[in-house]
């Protein structure tokens, strides 16, 4: 494999396997990541996962607050790199940045484009009950995930898989696809294919309110949403006047008023929906640890006949 000097741009855990794969096979001249942000109950500044990994690898890091001031363009232009690799960086890059390096910028996107363009493709694929997703490597342009695709890798979505689990599974697949795409670029074999923009679907960033569970929806949709918003913002319902978080849901046959607890057994909490029912295996009350439904019910936190209602989330 021909070694290519690159700049890496990314922030969250999903991007780390790509950075590590690049550092092992190519020369990473510079890492660009989002600024440190407050996190946790103490709201202390925490570094993005990519920054932490880059420092461990001994790679210099910059964290510009804007991609449009000229500082980012200048940093790329003076890096001596040929190509920029962008993985969940979190900012749309202006033309000046896209053109700063001889080979431009390529992006690792966690969907089969043009489906699920945007910030949360994995989450919305799970929420919508898709049977498959994947990773696309594309040449970046000024649009939101609109550039031509160099290659893609498809994977089936497990029926019980959460978005967090699927993201973790896709990350190394994306890293392997990225290395293959760079090899194609370096050898002159890359043949980017334009996307069908008329067929595009979108995956906007999730909001806290996306975790509010409405049991009046069909069971399959309820179960898919509970899995799709795990780990953030988390599936929530109101039970006995307090908000609880719900985990590990699967649709099943059943009849009962939407939100009503139909049964509690070793499988979990069986709850009626607008069509069918769902079984929920784990639950978390405010200020308490996540636990199995059997443990929660054993502490008299829920009983048959209780109702789980859709909460009002800002």
Split the chain (314 residues) into runs of 10 and give each run's mean pLDDT. 93 97 98 91 88 98 94 96 97 95 98 97 98 98 96 97 98 98 96 98 96 98 98 97 96 96 97 98 94 92 95 81
* Domain presence at residue 296: yes
**Host domain of residue 230:** 208-309
Indicate the residue among 199, 230, 262 that finishes a domain.
199
Asked if residue 82 and residue 114 are part of one domain, the reply reads yes
Q: Which of 199, 231, 266 is the last residue of a domain?
A: 199
Last residue of a domain, one of 199, 234, 250: 199
Domain match, 24 and 152 both: yes
> What's the rounded Cα separation, in Å, for the pair 73 and 32?
11
CATH code at 217?
A: 3.10.25.10
Identify whether residues 273 and 145 lie together within a single domain.
no
Is position 179 within any domain? yes
Identify whether residues 163 and 293 lie together within a single domain. Answer: no
Considering the domain architecture, whether residues 194 and 137 belong to the same structural domain is answered as yes
State how far the Cα of 188 lies from the Cα of 182, in Å rounded to an integer: 10
Instruction: Note whether residue 150 is domain-resident.
Output: yes
Which pLDDT does position 38 carry in this prediction? Answer: 86
- For residues 167 and 212, state if they share a domain: no
Instruction: Report the CATH number that the domain containing residue 130 is assigned in CATH.
Output: 3.40.50.170
Q: Is the dihedral of CA 166, 92, 67, 19 positive or negative?
A: positive
User: Residues 129, 43: one domain?
Assistant: yes
Q: Is residue 94 part of a domain?
A: yes
Residues 18, 135, single domain; the answer is yes
Q: Is residue 174 part of a domain?
A: yes
- Tally of domains within the chain: 2
- What per-residue confidence (pLDDT) applies to 43? 76
| 212 and 183 housed in the same domain | no
69/215 Cα distance (integer angstroms): 47
Residue-wise pLDDT tens digits, 239-268: 999 999 999 999 999 999 999 999 999 999
DSSP secondary structure, 270-299, as one string: EEE-SBSEEEEEEEE-TTS--EEHHHHHHT
Q: What is the spatial distance between Cα 239 and Cα 262, in angstroms, rounded to a whole number?
A: 14
Residues in the chain: 314
Same-domain pairing of 250 and 179: no
- pTM score, whole prediction: 0.95
Q: What angle do CA 115, 120, 125 make, to 5 degrees?
A: 50
Does residue 112 share a domain with residue 228? no
One domain for residues 19 and 128: yes
CA–CA gap between residue 230 and residue 227 (Å, rounded) = 5
Decide if 314 is inside a domain: no
Q: How far apart are CA 61 and CA 188, in angstroms?
A: 30
Is-contact 6 22, C-beta < 8 A? yes
């Amino acid at each position: 494999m021909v070694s290519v000097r690159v700049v890496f741009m990314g922030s969250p855990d999903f991007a780390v396997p790509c950075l590590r794969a690049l550092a092992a096979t190519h020369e990473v001249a510079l890492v660009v990541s989002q600024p440190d942000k407050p996190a946790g109950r103490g709201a202390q500044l925490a570094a993005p996962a990519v920054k932490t990994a880059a420092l461990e690898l001994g790679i210099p890091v910059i964290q510009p607050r804007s991609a449009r001031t000229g500082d980012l363009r200048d940093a790329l232009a003076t890096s001596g790199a040929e190509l920029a690799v962008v993985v969940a960086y979190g900012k749309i890059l202006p033309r000046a940045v896209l053109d700063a390096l001889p080979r431009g910028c390529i992006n690792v996107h966690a969907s089969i484009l043009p489906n699920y363009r945007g910030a949360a493709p994995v989450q919305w694929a799970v929420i919508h009950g898709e049977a498959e997703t994947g990773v696309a490597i594309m040449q970046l342009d000024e649009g939101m995930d609109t550039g031509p695709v160099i290659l893609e890798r498809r994977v089936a979505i497990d029926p019980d898989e959460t978005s967090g689990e699927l993201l973790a599974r896709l990350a190394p697949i994306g890293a392997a696809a990225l290395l293959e795409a760079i090899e194609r670029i370096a050898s002159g074999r890359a043949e980017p294919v334009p996307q069908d923009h008329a067929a595009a679907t979108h995956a906007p960033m999730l909001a806290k309110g996306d975790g509010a569970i409405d049991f009046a929806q069909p069971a399959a949709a309820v179960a898919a949403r509970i899995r799709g918003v795990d780990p953030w913002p988390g599936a929530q319902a109101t039970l006995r006047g307090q908000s609880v978080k719900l985990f590990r849901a699967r649709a099943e046959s059943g009849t009962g008023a939407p939100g009503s607890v139909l049964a509690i057994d070793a499988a979990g909490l069986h709850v009626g929906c607008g069509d069918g029912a769902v079984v929920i295996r784990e639950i978390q009350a405010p200020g308490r640890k996540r636990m199995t439904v059997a443990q929660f019910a054993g502490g008299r936190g829920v009983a048959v006949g209780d109702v789980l209602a859709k909460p009002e989330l800002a």
